[in-house]
Structure 1
Amino acid sequence: MENEDKRIEDLINKLMANDSLETAPTNFTEGVMSKIEALSETKTIAYKPLIPKYVWWLLGLGFVALITNIVLNKSSDSSSLTDRYNLPEVSFDLLNNLSVDFSNTLMYATVLLAVMVAIQIPLLKQYFNQKLSY
């Protein structure tokens, strides 16, 4: 076994002696660095909001106009908004007659799910913050 290792080592030494070292061109480093700088400059992403500013301004102006209309068109009689604008009567008594009895297993599962989500959110946030920082 030792004899075979010696033969392999001699073969490698012969191959290395016959092979000459390759040298890089004189301006190799500058060329590589200029290409890296060009790549880093082209990949910058400009922040662009999902909803443009003019849409926010239009929504704000519409909201102010709605509030102004309600305040200025107040009639002298003491009628409600539904009578004044012919709005239908809306009843929110849908859940008053509903009685739901949850089992203990469902309650435990819901609490466990809430705890797991509360643990996962900070862990995932930390993971993605570390991933984006590199």
Structure 2
Amino acid sequence: MEEQYKDIKHLVKEAGLETPSVDFLKNVMERVELSTVEMSSAYKPLISKKVWFVIAVVTAVLLCATPFLSDSKESILSSIDFSFFNKISIKNPFSDFTFHKTTIYGILFLALLFLIQITILKRRIDRRFSL
């Protein structure tokens, strides 16, 4: 496998390194300035405003017409039995928990430091990435 690369190494040494001309950067920048910038296509949403308007109107009409579509005089919600909520008894596991003053002070202090850190980091990032 090493033998395959001996010829390549020899050819690279023989060819040498090419160096760009002195005005290379200037020439490239001039061509970049002269090249025409193609206008990118304007943003076009998949669903147009007209379609969103139609969807909103249809949804509003359906929501407003739902109570009138039933044959009986009773509302739809009165026919649903919600008595199962009385059978569910979930105790609050935090009912006996109390915060001590030091805990509250610690949480407030950490929140304050967090907010200060966010503002400092935002300024630093804005300065770093501003042109």
TM-score, normalised on structure 1? 0.44
TM-score, normalised on structure 2? 0.45
